[in-house]
Structure 1
Amino acid sequence: MQRSGIIDLKRPLRVRAKAKAVRTLGPIASGITTGARWYGHRVAIIDAGGPMTYSEVDRASNAVARDWAARGLDEDSTVAVLCRDHRGLVLAMIAAAKLGSRLVLMNTGFSALQFADVALREGVSAVANDAEFDFVQAELPFHISRLGDPADTANAGGADTPVPPPSRQGEFVLLTGGTTGTPKGAPRSVGSAFVSAQFLDRVPLEVGQTVLLCAPLFHGTALSQFIIGLNLGCTIVIHGRFDPARALTQIESHHCDAVVLVPTMLHRLLASPDIDVRDTTSVRIIFTAGAALTPDLGNRAIARFGPVIYNYYGCTETGTATIATPADWLASPGTVGRPPLGIEVGLVDTEGELVTEPDRRGTIHVGNSISFHGYSSGGGKPIAHGLMSTGDVGHWDSSGLLFVDGRDDDMIVSGGENVFPGEIEATLYAHPDIDEAAVAGVADDEFGQRLSAVIVRRNPTLTDDAVRQYIRTELARFKVPRDVIFVNELPRTTTGKIDRRAMAALTAATK
C-alpha cells in the first residue's frame, strides 16, 4: 500500500484520517471526502458530461444527500439505484454512504418484475434511476419513494454543504450474476482501508493514474477497481454502454494507464478496426474479470498491448480469490494465478478432503476477510475447512497456479464422462476461423446429455464437420460436440458472461 501511494506512512495523521473515514463512510464516499480535502482540484471522474474534480464530486454528492435527507432518508433506509454508468450513479453511491443508508446496486438488464422482486426482498425504501428506467416504477408499491435521476438532483441548485456524518457505515448490496430469475443479494461492508492490499499486492495501480472502466459499475469487477482508484486519487474514465471504438478513443485521448473490462469486451476491442489507428501505448494494466479469459484471447491481447494482462478470479460472495500477473499468464496461459496477500484458496474433492496435488480437480473454496456473511434473503455458500465455496471446479498446476475448469453446475455428463464446457470452448477459440464459441449440454436419450457447440464464425465456409474434426484432433473423443450451431452472436448477460439459460433454450430449439 505504501508502494502504490494509497497510504503515506510519513504522514500518519492522514493514514489515521483515512481509516476513520472508511469506518464511518465506507470505501466509496471516504475516497471522495478525503480526496476533496487533500487534492480537491484533481479530476476524479470523466463521463459523457465531462470532467468533475474531487471537490466537485464531493459537493454534488452533498447536494444529493441533502435532498434525500429532506425526503426522509436516513441510516434506517435502503436505497436502490438503477442507472447506467455515469456521474448520476457515482453521486447516488456516495450520497447513500453519507447518509449511512443501505445501498442496493441494481442490474440494468432487469425487467420491471425482476426489479420489483429484488426491491421488495431487500426492503427498499426509495429508488433512484435514470429516466429510461422509469418503467420499473409501474411494478413498485406506492410506499417506495421515487428519487429520480441523481444527476438532475445535483444540478437543481440545492445546498451542497456536508450533511452530518452517520453513526456507522451503511452497507452496500451486490447482486449475484444473471438476468433471469431473481438474483440473490450479497451485503458488503468494508471495515478497514487496508483490504485494498489484496489487489495492490498483485496489480500495480498507483496514485494519480487514469483508469478506464468499461465493465458496469453495478458489478463487483468494476466496482472494486473504482473504489481502489478513488482512494488512490486516480482519474476514473466512466465508459458507459460498451463501444469498442469509443473505448479506444478514450484510451488515446485520456492516456489511460489501466483498463477494466470483461473478456467479451477485450475480444471486441481487439476485433475493432480502430485498434490499428489509436495510440494505446499508455496502457500498463488490462484488468479482466467476470468470465473465463481463454488462452487464445489473452495471448492475442499480450501480442497487441504487451505483457499487461492481469486476470482476476473471484465471485460476489467470496470477493477476491486469485489474480494472475502477466508473468503468471506467460508461464501458463489460461491461469487465474495465485491468491494475493491475506487470502487462502483450497480445492475440496467429493469426499470433502483438500486437494494438494497438481492436475486433480476440486471445488474452489476461498478464505477472505471481506467474504459476505450470508445472503440478505437468508442462507449462504457451502463452507469446508473454514473456506467458502465459489461453486467453481478447478485444479492447480505443478507450479501452484490455479486454473478454473468450469462451474460445478455446468458440468455435462455425456455417456458417463464428465465434461466441462470451458476446455472445449478454449479449444474452439484457438481455431483461426472461429470468432466466439460456447458449449452447452442437451438432453439425449442415448447419452444422457450430448454436447452442443454454438459458434460465431470468422470464415463463413467453416462447416460443422470441420469443427468436429478439429476437436477430435485436439481433445478426447467424448468431448466432440454432436451438435454445431452457427449464429451471428452469442447470448450474453449485461455483464458480458455467456447466458447459460439462453444457451440451453437455443440449443434445445435446434433439434
Structure 2
Amino acid sequence: MEFNHADLFEGLADAIGERTAVVVFDSAGGTQRRTYAELDADANRLAHHLRDAGVTAGRHVGIQLYNGLEYVTALLAALKIRAVPVNVNYRYVEAELEYLYDDADLVALVYDAEFEDRVTTAAARVPALRHRVVVGGTSPHAIAYPDALAGSPAARGFGKRSGEDVYIIYTGGTTGMPKGVMWRSADLFMAFGGGNPYGDPRETPEAVIEAAQDSGPLVMMPAAPLMHGAAQMATFIGWWMGATIVYTRRFDAAEVLRTIENEKVFTINITGDAMARPLADALAADSYDLSSLAVLSSTGAILSGAVRDRLQELLPNVAILDNFGSSESGFTASGVDGSSPESGMRYRPNNARLRVLDDALQEVRPGSGVLGQVAKSGHIAFGYYNDPKKTAKTFVEVEGERWLLTGDIATVEADGTIAVFGRGSQCINTGGEKVFPEEIEAVLKRHPAVFDALVTGIPDERFGSRVAAVVQPYDQAPTTDELDAHCRGVLSGYKVPRTYAFVDEMRRSPAGKADYRWAKQIAEQAAART
C-alpha cells in the first residue's frame, strides 16, 4: 500500500467495511447510505466499466454531478484504474463546458441527466470525449449509470498504483478561465492533513488504516459541492479518520441544519460568507437541535468578522475555525483570534514551509512591514495542466527548493504571524494607493441592509482606477449616501466606493467563490449610467 487515495480507501473497506462511509440527504427527506465495503464494490463496478470502455491509466474522466453517491463512486472509480478524475462546474454553460472538456483532455464523462442538453452540445465539439455515463436518466449518447454498474464485477482486480499517480483539481478563476491544478497523490495526501489533521502526519499508509479502525464514531459534513476541491479533500480527510461523511445534494441552509440535527454531525466544513450568512439567517429563523455539532470550519473563501460573530452568537458552543489554503497549496494556516478582513486577516503558519517572499524572492523579515507574497514549499501541487507559462510563473525555485507563490499579498508581523491583505490580482491601484477588496467587502456586509457585496476596480480618468461595489441587499436597497456614511466611519477616504451597483442576486460559484469578472462588468455598466 502507498499514500495513494485508492489504495487507502481499499484498505479502509477491508478494515472497517461494515462502517457507514457516506450518507446523502435529499430535499424530499429521504437518505441514501453506503458502508465502506458497499461503496468500494460500487466503485469497483464503475472502474471496470470505464476500463472496458477504453479509459486507461493517465486518461482524464470528467465528473459533472451534484453531490451524491454517484460523485464519490466516480471519483474512486477513476482513481482505482489510475485514471485522473476532473471536477466539472455544474453551472457552466455550453461554451464554458467546451473549453473545460477540451482543456482537460477528457475521454469520459459521468454527468447528471439534468445537464443533458448542454453536455450534448459541448461534447459534440470535443471529439476526444468519446464515452459518457448519465446519472438519473437516460440518453441516446450515454449509458445509464445503473446499467454501467450492473454489467461489471464487484471484485477489484486492478494493477499496482503509486504515490506518483496524478490528481487534478480544476479551480474556477475569479478573473480568468478555470485551470487544472496537478498534484501527486502522496503530496496531496500530506498537504491535506496527512491522515491526521490534528497532529503529525501518519508515517505509513498502514498507520492510517489502524488509526481509522481505532477511531470512535464520527460524523463529518462538507457543505460545499463536491465539484469544489475543498469538499473533495474534506471527504478524504474524514475517511482517513474512519468517519461517516454526510452530504446534501445541493446547498440549502435549512436543509443543511436539518441534516446536522438528523445525522448528529460533529464537524461541518463551509466556504466563507456565501454559506455562513444563509446558515446564520436560517438559525435565527427556526429552531434546530445542533447539540452534536462541535466544530464549524471555513476555507476556500473569506469569512468576514461580522458574519463570524453572528454565527458564534447563534452557536455559542461551537468552535468556529477560519482556515487558509488553496487548491495549489493545501491547508497552510489557521486564523488567529480576532482575525477578519475588517480588522486584518492574520494567520499562524501550520508548518515551517510557509513564508512571505518579497519581489526578489527573499524572505520577508518579521516586523519589517515589507509586503510580499505568501509562498509554500514541500507538499505542494506541481503545476497547471496544459499551462506551462502559468506554471513557470507560479512555481519558482529559490536556492534549489521549489516554492509555490500563492498570489496572496502579505507581511510578517513581529510575532511571526502572517498578515494577509488580499489577493494581488484583485488589488485596486487608485491614485497610487493600494486597496484590497476583501476589507471593503467585509465593511459593507456589516451594514444591516447588505446581504452580500463584491468590490472591484473600474477605470477612472483621474486616478487610473476607482473603487466600485456591487451590492445585493436583503430586501430594500440602502441608499448610496447611507453606504457612503457607513464606510467612511471605518475606512480611509480613498477606500470608500465611489460607484455602487445593486443586484438581485450575486454571482458566485456554487462553493461561494466570487466572480470578479462579472462584478467588474456590472460596476462599469452602473458607472456608464451616471
2:23 counterpart of 1:38: no
CA contact (8 A) 2:59 2:83 kept: yes
Q: 1:294 Cα shift?
A: 1.0
CA contact (8 A) 1:84 1:240 kept: yes
1:317 is matched with which residue? 328
SS of 2:185's partner is coil
**Cα distance in 2 between the residues matched to 1:431 and 1:257:** 32
CA contact (8 A) 2:295 2:320 kept: yes
SS of 1:406's partner is strand
The residue identity in structure 2 corresponding to 1:423 is E
Q: Which moved more, 1:357-366 or 1:58-67?
A: 357-366
CA gap 1:300/1:31 in 2 versus in 1, 3 angstroms? farther
2:307 counterpart of 1:301: no
2:167 counterpart of 1:172: yes
**Cα distance in 2 between the residues matched to 1:235 and 1:154:** 26
**Cα distance in 2 between the residues matched to 1:38 and 1:367:** 35
1:418 is matched with which residue? 434
Q: 1:236 Cα shift?
A: 0.5
**Cα distance in 2 between the residues matched to 1:443 and 1:481:** 13
Q: 1:244 Cα shift?
A: 0.5
The residue identity in structure 1 corresponding to 2:199 is D
Of the three residues 260, 265, 290, the one matched with 2:275 is 265
Of the three residues 40, 44, 61, the one matched with 1:79 is 61
Q: TM-score, normalised by structure 2?
A: 0.84
2:500 is matched with which residue? 484
Which blocks of at least 5 consecutive residues in structure 1 are unaligned? 1-19
Of the three residues 458, 464, 475, the one matched with 1:448 is 464
CA contact (8 A) 1:345 1:365 kept: yes
SS of 1:241's partner is coil
Deviations 1:450-504 (A, max 9, x none): 1112223347373211211222221211112112333333221232112101100
CA contact (8 A) 2:396 2:405 kept: yes
The residue identity in structure 1 corresponding to 2:524 is A
The residue identity in structure 2 corresponding to 1:88 is E
Q: Which moved more, 1:58-67 or 1:100-109?
A: 100-109
**Cα distance in 2 between the residues matched to 1:64 and 1:247:** 29
Number of aligned residues: 484
2:491 is matched with which residue? 475
The residue identity in structure 2 corresponding to 1:319 is G
1:211 is matched with which residue? 220
In the TM superposition, what are the counterparts of 1:77-476 in structure 2 within 5 Å? 77-134=59-116, 135-140=118-123, 141-149=126-134, 151-153=145-147, 156=150, 158-168=152-162, 170-178=165-173, 182-191=177-186, 196-197=193-194, 199-201=197-199, 208-263=217-272, 264-272=274-282, 276-306=286-316, 307-324=318-335, 335=345, 337-341=347-351, 343-358=352-367, 360=369, 362-377=371-386, 378-379=388-389, 380=391, 381-383=394-396, 385=398, 386=401, 387-458=403-474, 460=476, 462-476=478-492
CA contact (8 A) 1:32 1:57 kept: no
The residue identity in structure 1 corresponding to 2:14 is R
Deviations 1:238-295 (A, max 9, x none): 2221101100100100010011111111111001257641111211111211111111
**Cα distance in 1 between the residues matched to 2:49 and 2:360:** 56
CA contact (8 A) 1:171 1:189 kept: yes
CA contact (8 A) 2:43 2:74 kept: yes
CA contact (8 A) 2:88 2:227 kept: yes
Name segments (4+ residues, structure 1) moved above 4 Å: 192-195, 327-330
Q: 1:348 Cα shift?
A: 2.5
CA contact (8 A) 1:309 1:329 kept: no
CA contact (8 A) 2:174 2:513 kept: no
CA gap 1:240/1:366 in 2 versus in 1, 3 angstroms? farther
Q: Which moved more, 1:120-129 or 1:468-477?
A: 120-129
SS of 2:120's partner is helix
Of the three residues 65, 84, 107, the one matched with 2:47 is 65
Deviations 1:207-231 (A, max 9, x none): 5311111112122211111111111
The residue identity in structure 2 corresponding to 1:338 is R
Deviations 1:3-26 (A, max 9, x none): xxxxxxxxxxxxxxxxx143xxx2
SS of 2:106's partner is coil
Q: TM-score, normalised by structure 1?
A: 0.87
SS of 2:347's partner is coil
Q: 1:345 Cα shift?
A: 1.9
2:205 is matched with which residue? none
CA contact (8 A) 2:67 2:225 kept: yes
CA gap 1:336/1:157 in 2 versus in 1, 3 angstroms? farther
CA contact (8 A) 1:248 1:275 kept: no
Q: Which moved more, 1:311-320 or 1:149-158?
A: 149-158
SS of 2:482's partner is helix
2:140 is matched with which residue? none
CA gap 1:240/1:274 in 2 versus in 1, 3 angstroms? farther
For the aligned residue pairs, the C-alpha RMSD in angstroms reads 2.7
1:497 is matched with which residue? 513
